[in-house]
Each structure stands twice: as C-alpha cells, then as structure tokens.
A and B are shown apart, each in its own frame.
Chain A
Amino acid sequence: MSEREFVIPVGPQHPALKEPESFLFTVDGEVVVDVEPRIGYNHRGIEKAMESRNYIQNLYITERVCGICSNAHQTAYTGAVEEVGGIEIPERAKYIRVFMQELERIHSHLLWLGVAAHEIGFDTMFYYVWRDREVVMDLLEEVSGNRCNYAMATVGGVRRELPKNKYPKWHKMLDKLAERTNYYIKVASTEKTILERAVGVGYLGKEDMIRLSGCGPNARSSGVPCDIRKISPYLIYDEIPFEHVYVDNGDVLGQVLVRVLETLESVKICKWVLDNIPDGEIAVKFNPMQRLPEGEAVYLVEAQRGELIHYTISDGRNMPYRHKIRAPTLGNIPSLVKRLKGGYIADIPITLAGIDPCFSCTDRMAFYDEGKDKTWTWTEGELSKYRKGWYSR
C-alpha cells in the first residue's frame, strides 16, 4: 500500500450547518476503504465551565451546546437536576415541556430533509421544505419569543404559559404542517431521482448497528427499535398514543422515511397535548442559591438525533460537582464509519448528511489514495460537481 497522505482542506462550505469536522479517507480508486474521524473543532470546555456556575446559570450554557437540539438538552438537564434534588414538577409543566420538545423535533427533521435534498442535488425540494419549515418557526416564536434557544424549561417547571386563546390558531398551523409532510412522504418514496441516489447507499444491517451502539433515527432506519420515549419513558410519554417508527431499509432511504414519519407523529403528539393539557401551576419555586442534597442521577432523553444522556453528581452545594453530557452524534460515529466503507467517494456527502450529524458536514476531508500516489484538494463545490457528474454517467 503506498503511503502518501494528502490532507486537503475541503473548505468550510455547506449552505446549511457547517460544523467543522474532519475525516481521513483511505481510497482505492473510487471506493472508500477506510475512514478515520477527527473531531474536536467545536470543543469549548463546557463540562469544566459548568462546575463553576450555579444550577440556574448552567441552564443557559446547556441550551447552547447545540442550537438545534437546544430544548432536548434543557429537558435532560432539568430532569437530571430535579431527580437529584427530589423536586416534583407540576403536571401542566410536563405537558408544556413535551409540546416544546416535539415542536423542536419537527423543526429539526424538516431542516434535515432540506439539507439531505440539497446533498442529493435536489435544490428545489430544499427550498420548498425550508419554506414550509417557516410555519413551525413562526409557531415556536409565538410560544417562546425566539426561533432558536427558547429558554422555556427551568429547574422546577417551565417559564412561560401557553395562552388558551391561541390554541385554535396553533391547531391550524399544525394541520398545515401535517399536510405538507404527507406531500413530502409521497415525493420521497416515489420520485425516481431521489430513489436512485438513496436506495442502497450507505447500507448498514441490524446486527452491525447493535454491535456499534448506534442510536436515534440512524439506528431505527436499520430496524433497531430504540426510541427512548417508548422503551424508557420520561415526562408523560407513557400516556400519549403514538407509533414507534422504525424501518428495515438500512440505507439513506430508510433515514428519510424514519424522519418524515416521525415528523407526522410529532404533529399528532402536539395536537394531543393541546387537547388534553390540564390546568394548574407551571413551576415550583427554585432559586439560584438553593443547595441540592448529595447524590447523582442519570437522565436519558430522545433528542432529535438520538439518545442523549446527562449525568450529574451533586456534593451538597448550589453548583454541580460534575456534569457529563454525551451528544447523540458521538454515539453515531462508529456506525457512520462502517457505512462509508465500501462506498463510492461520490456518495460521501449524502451518507454523512444521512446520520444528521450535529457537528455537521465536514470541514476537511483528507484523501489517501493507495494506488495513485496523488494528492489533491477539493472544495465542497468541487466534490458536489464530482458527485453530480458521477451520477449522470
């Protein structure tokens, strides 16, 4: 095997999320033989910072771990802290938290659908989906005041009420979302251009997925039933009627189907919450100087991208002794590596985007060609052109 490595910065350029991340590919001609992930470009030292801030200040940091899963992180953080402190939140607060979480799931899956369409080359669908996504962004802004980073949850409950006079308007907006999502299901499963680029690409079977501890829609697209809302329910998910979505395809088409069907389930859950929410208080008093008893807690949440865990240890002060966060994408990288091996270079963008990486599309790709001894640098634009050319042969 010839040993010349060439690191070619594929410049930061992706119209949507560009979270910097680097992969070192070993290729043999057109086929990818090995992949090595290199992460850490986004390491801000959050866990260390959380040890010197009190529990209310930490709310603002956990929100900004990721701008798209921000409510999921807040749900997990407040859940863990409340478990350590033995704090029971009122029923109405649980319903409001579920409502925000499902709205955020809709927003994230629609965002992903547009990005995936762009990676396939189907820019028209990208623009259509992001236009329809504005409906859920308007809804989020009406409820919380911001399009991202809502700051709804707090230790002890939630911060803002859902005013009853707005429910009919919100029902109408949710119905519109359901109608558009049904249209996208039809497009994704029958449109020939999408099927050609998605079927069989990046295949990973069920046993491999279980062995590599994959999670979230990534694992559910290979037939593993691992939705935390169903197998280890938290908040009020054990009372809400909704489907556990998983398919057997194992390739990119499976990812598309799982996410779009989950969006429909989320719309159903939101409507159920608006119809069944009880009256009552929305929060229990908790002030920043309050100390929590000693103890520890683990809290698992089904975030948009998979299983999210917050583990907190308290030593009796008003600051955490240690708080550990593991974002779902870190758990999905081993299965991503397995998906890329054996595929073509031109399939790399869609396979990467397929797992919905939260430190998203690559900043750098290094190509290590075994046979040719050649080094070349590609920008993402050139990679997309290459991919389009490859598929139109």
Chain B
Amino acid sequence: MKKVSVEEHTKVVEDLVKEFGEENVYNTKVPRAYRAFAHVNREKLLDVVKYLKEEHGFIHVTTISGVDMGENYEVVYHLRSEGFSFSLKVPVPKDDPKVPSIVDILNGAVLYEREVNDLLGVFPEGHPDPKRLILAYDWPEGVHPLRKEWDIQTIREKVDGKKWGKDVE
C-alpha cells in the first residue's frame, strides 16, 4: 500500500480551482493527507462533481450533510476517491432552499438527498423520487428538525400539541 503525501492531494485541489476559477471554488483547505474541504458555488455544482468524477476518480459518495449556518444553509457533499475524502460545501440561501440533484452523476446519492430534504428542508431538484424518508408519515409539513429555529420543546409542542418531558407536567 503506497503512502500518499499531502502534496499530491493539494495538487488535486489546485487543479480544481484552476479549472473553475476562484469565484466558483474558494476557501480551500487541505489540513492533512486524505482530507480536503472547499466551498463551491451552487450553479457550478453539477459541473464540479462531473469533473471530479471523470478526471480524478471521485466515484464514491460517502454522504451528504445539511448544516444550518445561521445566515444560510450549507449542503456538504463528501466524495471519496481511493481513501482521499473531499468535502464540497455548497451555500444555499434561506429564502430559496434548493440544490440541483447529483443523482444522475453519482447514483449512490439517492437516499442522502432525501434525508437532507427531510431534516433540513433543502429540496433536490431533479431527484427522481423526493419522498419523505425518515420522519413519520403524520409529521407536519415545514417542521425541519435540524434548523436552528426549532429547539426540542418547540418541535414537541408543534407535533404533539403539548409540551412533554421530565421537566414539564
């Protein structure tokens, strides 16, 4: 098993920035070998994923996380190529919570996008079947638990109609 150095992985990230420009791929970080982070513009997401898959072998999607950063949402795509894990962070404005779906390029992402839709409320456009995945069937629309404005007692009140728990009657 060959040892891979930080320089090799830094070269991959620099090549990506050269191809798409600093306005589309920015805030890049390579903290150690096998790990990299970068912000990617939402409009260029599909092209970036396709480029990484075809030129650098990122054929495996590990997962897709949704984060509520306060002023906007971020959808983080964790792609992997032979041990090198590259996380692409896509900022999404709160008044337009949508991202293009990468299911056609990487088929394995089909369940992860449904999960982000359920828990954070960011809709994957172009997904073949964007149904509810994890939350209960009678869960009300619009209550997305991972959003910071919903804390636990508020969610319980909204869904069950009352507060409950060990501190409450």
| Residues in chain A within 8 A of chain B (CB atoms) | 37, 39-40, 43, 45, 47-49, 52, 83, 210-215, 226, 228, 230-233, 238, 296-298, 300, 307, 309, 311, 313, 322, 324, 326, 330-331, 333-334
Evaluate whether A311 and B1 lie within 8 angstroms (CB atoms) in the complex, with A210-B59, A213-B106 already known: no
CB pair B136 A231 closer than 8 Å: no
The CA of A39 and the CA of B111, in the complex, are separated in Å by 10
CB neighbours (8 Å) of A40 from chain B are 133-136
| Residues in chain B within 8 A of chain A (CB atoms) | 1, 3, 31, 34-35, 37, 59-63, 65, 67-68, 76, 78, 80, 82-85, 87, 106-112, 115, 119, 133-136, 145-146, 152
CB neighbours (8 Å) of B61 from chain A are 213
CB pair A39 B134 closer than 8 Å: yes
Shortest distance in angstroms between A205's beta carbon and chain B's nearest beta carbon?
14
CB pair A330 B87 closer than 8 Å: no
The CA of A297 and the CA of B76, in the complex, are separated in Å by 12
CB pair A47 B83 closer than 8 Å: no
Which chain A residue lies CB-closest to B65?
A324
CB pair B85 A298 closer than 8 Å: yes
CB pair A230 B76 closer than 8 Å: no
Residue pairs across A and B with CB atoms within 8 Å: the count is: 92
The CA of A238 and the CA of B4, in the complex, are separated in Å by 12
CB neighbours (8 Å) of B84 from chain A are 232
CB neighbours (8 Å) of B108 from chain A are 211-214, 331, 334
The CA of A37 and the CA of B115, in the complex, are separated in Å by 13
The CA of A212 and the CA of B80, in the complex, are separated in Å by 13
CB neighbours (8 Å) of A211 from chain B are 59, 107-108
Could you list 17 examples of A-B contacts with CB < 8 Å? A39-B134, A45-B152, A48-B146, A210-B59, A210-B60, A212-B107, A213-B108, A215-B60, A238-B1, A300-B80, A309-B62, A309-B78, A311-B76, A322-B68, A324-B65, A324-B76, A334-B107
Question: CB within 8 A of A43: which of B1, B106, B135?
Answer: B135
Which chain B residue lies CB-closest to A338?
B107
Shortest distance in angstroms between A314's beta carbon and chain B's nearest beta carbon?
12
The CA of A296 and the CA of B152, in the complex, are separated in Å by 24
Which chain B residue lies CB-closest to A311?
B65
The CA of A330 and the CA of B111, in the complex, are separated in Å by 8
CB neighbours (8 Å) of A214 from chain B are 108
CB neighbours (8 Å) of B85 from chain A are 232, 298, 300
CB neighbours (8 Å) of A322 from chain B are 65, 67-68
Question: CB within 8 A of B62: which of A43, A83, A313, A331?
Answer: A331
CB pair A300 B62 closer than 8 Å: yes
The CA of A49 and the CA of B78, in the complex, are separated in Å by 23
Which chain B residue lies CB-closest to A214?
B108
CB pair A228 B87 closer than 8 Å: no
CB pair A311 B133 closer than 8 Å: no
CB neighbours (8 Å) of B83 from chain A are 228, 231-232
CB neighbours (8 Å) of B107 from chain A are 211-213, 334
CB neighbours (8 Å) of A231 from chain B are 1, 82-83
Which chain B residue lies CB-closest to A237?
B1
CB pair B78 A43 closer than 8 Å: no
CB pair B146 A47 closer than 8 Å: yes
Question: CB within 8 A of B152: which of A39, A48, A233?
Answer: A48
Evaluate whether A333 and B146 lie within 8 angstroms (CB atoms) in the complex, with A43-B135, A48-B152 already known: no
CB pair A213 B60 closer than 8 Å: yes
The CA of A326 and the CA of B61, in the complex, are separated in Å by 12
The 4 closest A-B pairs by CB, nearest first: A213-B108, A232-B83, A231-B83, A326-B63
CB neighbours (8 Å) of B68 from chain A are 322
The CA of A303 and the CA of B93, in the complex, are separated in Å by 35
Which chain B residue lies CB-closest to A42?
B134
The CA of A238 and the CA of B2, in the complex, are separated in Å by 10
Question: CB within 8 A of B110: which of A230, A313, A334?
Answer: A334
Which chain B residue lies CB-closest to A213?
B108
Shortest distance in angstroms between A302's beta carbon and chain B's nearest beta carbon?
11
Which chain B residue lies CB-closest to A43?
B134
Shortest distance in angstroms between A52's beta carbon and chain B's nearest beta carbon?
8
CB pair A39 B133 closer than 8 Å: yes
The CA of A298 and the CA of B64, in the complex, are separated in Å by 12
The CA of A121 and the CA of B76, in the complex, are separated in Å by 44
Which chain A residue lies CB-closest to B60?
A213
Shortest distance in angstroms between A226's beta carbon and chain B's nearest beta carbon?
8
B63, B67, B76, most chain A CB atoms within 10 A: B63
CB neighbours (8 Å) of A233 from chain B are 1
Which chain A residue lies CB-closest to B134?
A40
CB neighbours (8 Å) of B78 from chain A are 298, 309, 311
